[in-house]
Amino acid sequence: MATEKKYKWHKLAKPDEFLVAEGVVMHLAVPEKHFCITQHKGEYFAFQAKCPHAGASFEHAHINDSGCLVCPLHRFQFDIRNGRNVSGEGFYLVTYPIQTNEHGIWVGMPEQIW
Ligand code: FES
């Protein structure tokens, strides 16, 4: 039986507040995790702060026209919508869900199950 992933939601901004410009990658933190956020085609995306290949910081990385994060160190590319390593090296980018509602813009961090 498949279990549904549970998240702890953290408010990042008010609903109409500006978080980050289109294509810019910004570093943020919530109590349990550092992560990066960007905007692509009017939608926010959140993902791990460091590259799964060799740990380069994604702050100041760029998002290409296809919506892929390009690592500044070795140029591996990751789809920010699903974490897929589209340049084919076999790594996986951890992504975090973003929700917007009347109370704000939220990021979901997976709850630890021990
Ligand atoms: S550290 Fe990101 S591709 Fe190597």
CATH of residue 40's domain is 2.102.10.10
Q: How many separate domains does the chain show?
A: 1
The span from the CA of 23 to the CA of 67, in Å, is 9
**How many Å lie between the centroid of ligand 1 and the Cα of residue 69?**
11
- The answer, yes or no, to whether residue 4 has pLDDT greater than 90, is no
Question: Which tokens go with 22?
Answer: 């289109």
- What amino acid is encoded at 66 in this protein? S
Whether 4 maps to a domain, the answer reads no
Q: Which tens digit of pLDDT belongs to each residue from 28-61?
A: 999 989 999 999 999 999 999 999 999 999 988 9
Q: Which residues line ligand 1 (CB under 6 A)?
A: 51, 53-54, 56, 71, 73-74, 76
The conformation of residue 112, written as its DSSP 8-state character, comes to P
Whether 63 maps to a domain, the answer reads yes
Backbone angles phi, psi at 106, to 5 degrees: -125, 145
**How many Å lie between the centroid of ligand 1 and the Cα of residue 109?**
23
Whether 78 maps to a domain, the answer reads yes
Residue 79, domain extent: 21-104
- The answer, yes or no, to whether residue 1 has pLDDT greater than 70, is no
